[in-house]
């Protein structure tokens, strides 16, 4: 089984070794209790792993609280995950997988829900959800998540590329005390050993 870049044995990897397939009904849902008006990060992960020996990863829809979230395109290459940050409207989070094509059975490997501080992402209207496109840590050598990020956000490692301006500083610490609470670890890798240049 191929592990995702952020998978660090043994705990995080074990969950990708199992999945639940929904072979009956067109739509299957999970209802998870949550406090109304609270902000959550919801991550749905899918690892096909050729469990059905067909080498044909399925496609299906993912819904959140009755609304279309995304069309899931699973892969033979590894884990696919989707993430959303939003404020609950009711006292539960409902996550549904909907079959959209014949013989394309929905499945899921993991559902992760993390409570976020109420002042995080307050620049986004509470009526809308924030769908993850990508979260990066420039200059990091490997992807990171908890314990580097207290809220278990996944930060992809990205090389510092051409066109970025080099900056120097005498600072011995990096202040990340902003409402979205990015982890210091996401900024530290771009600095050299003496914390002067990147």
Quick: pLDDT tens for 39-82: 999 999 999 999 999 999 999 999 999 999 999 999 998 889 99
Final residue of a domain: which of 131, 146, 173? 131
Q: How far apart are CA 63 and CA 94, in angstroms?
A: 8
How much of the chain exceeds pLDDT 90, in percent?
48
Does the pLDDT value for residue 2 go beyond 50?
no
pLDDT the model gives residue 3: 45
Pairing of strands 110-115, 39-46: antiparallel
Do 125 and 139 belong to one domain? Answer: no
Strand partners, 80: 46
SS3 81: strand
Domains in the chain, number = 2
Do 158 and 194 belong to one domain? Answer: yes
Mean pLDDT along residues 157-177: 67
Burial of 88 (0-12, 13-18, 19+ CB in 10 A): middle
Q: How far apart are CA 151 and CA 18, in angstroms?
A: 24
In a domain, 5, yes or no: no
Do 97 and 192 belong to one domain? Answer: no
Do 184 and 122 belong to one domain? Answer: no
In a domain, 181, yes or no: yes
User: Domain range spanning residue 91?
Assistant: 11-131
Final residue of a domain: which of 131, 155, 187? 131
**69 or 184: which carries more pLDDT confidence?**
69
Mean pLDDT along residues 153-169: 72
pLDDT the model gives residue 172: 65
Final residue of a domain: which of 79, 104, 131? 131
4-13, 45-54, 139-148, range with greatest mean pLDDT:
45-54
Model confidence over 94-103: pLDDT tens digits?
Answer: 999 999 999 9
**106 or 166: which carries more pLDDT confidence?**
106
CB 156 within 8 A of CB 137: yes
Mean pLDDT along residues 15-40: 92
pTM, to two decimals: 0.80
pLDDT the model gives residue 81: 92
- pLDDT band, residue 110 (cuts 50/70/90): very high
In a domain, 2, yes or no: no
Do 29 and 110 belong to one domain? Answer: yes
| Cα–Cα distance list, 165 to 141, 162, 168, 173, 176 (Å) | 19, 9, 10, 20, 20
What mean pLDDT, rounded, does the chain reach?
83
The DSSP call for residue 197 is B
Do 31 and 122 belong to one domain? Answer: yes
């Amino acid at each position: 089984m191929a592990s995702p870049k952020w998978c660090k044995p043994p705990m995080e990897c074990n969950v990708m070794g199992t999945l639940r397939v929904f072979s009956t009904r067109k739509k299957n849902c999970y209802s998870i209790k949550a406090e109304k008006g609270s902000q959550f990060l919801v991550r749905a992960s899918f690892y096909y792993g050729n469990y059905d020996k067909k080498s044909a990863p399925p496609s299906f829809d993912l819904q959140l609280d009755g609304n279309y979230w995304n069309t899931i395109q699973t892969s033979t290459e590894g884990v696919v995950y989707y993430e959303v940050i939003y404020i609950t409207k009711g006292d539960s989070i409902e996550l549904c997988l909907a079959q959209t094509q014949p013989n394309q059975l929905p499945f899921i490997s993991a559902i992760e829900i993390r409570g976020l501080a109420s002042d995080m992402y307050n620049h986004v209207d509470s009526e809308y959800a924030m769908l993850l496109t990508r979260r990066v840590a420039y200059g990091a050598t490997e992807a990171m998540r908890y314990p580097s990020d207290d809220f278990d956000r996944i930060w992809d490692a990205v090389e510092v590329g051409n066109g970025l301006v080099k900056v120097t500083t005498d600072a011995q610490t990096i202040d990340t005390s902003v409402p979205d609470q990015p982890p210091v670890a996401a900024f530290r890798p771009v600095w050299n050993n003496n914390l002067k240049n990147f």
